[in-house]
Amino acid sequence: MFLELPVRFKSNQARAIFLLLISTAMFTGMAICIRKSALSIPIFEVVFFRNFLAAIIMVPILRSKGFGVLKMNNPKLFFIRALFGSIGMIAGFSALTLIPLAQVTAIGFSTPIFLTIGAIIFLKEVVKVRRIIAIAVGFLGMLVIIQPGVVPISLGIVLAVSAALCHSINGIVIKKLTRSESPDSIVAWMVIMLIPITLVPAIASWEWPNFETWCFLWMMALFGTLAHMSLTRAYSLTEITSLQPLEFVKLPLAAVMAWLIFSEVPGIWTWLGGIIIFTSTAYITHREVQVAKSSRPNHGYRESKF
């Protein structure tokens, strides 16, 4: 098993923390590989290989579970998810090549804020004053990072925010899909459908990767797959709210790795804005779990091996 845990992690909470930290490290490693790959091939091609190579890595897992897990009951929603997933991935990958890694990471904390707003608009969810205040605080954090009117808003910032927005739309679609689809199907079809969608723009500017780039591409796909597997497993072992504070580890880890590899040093406003956004999203997540607990009994988490 990819995620066989050491014996010393006896409690589910300890296992979940370990897996979340592994996931955080894998996501950071994937981001570094994306930037390294984009130095020699176009970003559309990097996005294509992220999905194509991930699909190859997933084949043994699908075979072990049976390809029947690929059954879909709502193709329209799957396509919508793939469409926004491809846009979000292209925007996010592009942002990684234009602005500091820590800045992209900090802006990424805003995804739950957009998700909550989307749930209010499209899912007609009722949100009370405290969560509305948390959303406002989260946007304040984004303004601290972006500093409109103080510094020019760069293309990288626009792309990073666009990626967070697309990921939030995906989150709304996933909420709908989980009512009729298995987690395995949702994850697998995302990768499968993104292959042809991202292949079209990739062909238009195709350049064959050299050996070094191939290494980074394979590591990118492997890190991304392991990150999602670890994260899914972590959230299946304990409550989301107990892990949420550890999500902030992403920012210092991204900052340290970017400093070591790319000589990037994030500014004070990135740190301050990231802390504000994270605090807001942590509260929103806490309220989401509390509302879910009060509205329905816990029937368990349908775990995905991805």
CA dist., res. 115 & res. 258, Å (int) = 28
E-strand spans in the chain?
Answer: none
pLDDT digits (tens, 9 = 90+) for 64-81: 877 777 888 889 999 999
Select from 112, 110, 85, 43 the least CA-distant residue to 251.
110
What's the predicted TM-score (pTM) here? 0.81
At residue 165, the pLDDT reads 92
Stretches where the chain sits below pLDDT 70 are: 1-10, 149, 239-242, 244-245, 287-289, 291-306
At residue 149, the pLDDT reads 67
- The continuous run of DSSP H or E covering 47 comes out as helix 43-65
Q: What angle do CA 219, 184, 86 make, to 5 degrees?
A: 55
At residue 301, the pLDDT reads 39
At residue 89, the pLDDT reads 95
At residue 303, the pLDDT reads 43
At residue 281, the pLDDT reads 77
CA 118 to chain centre: 17
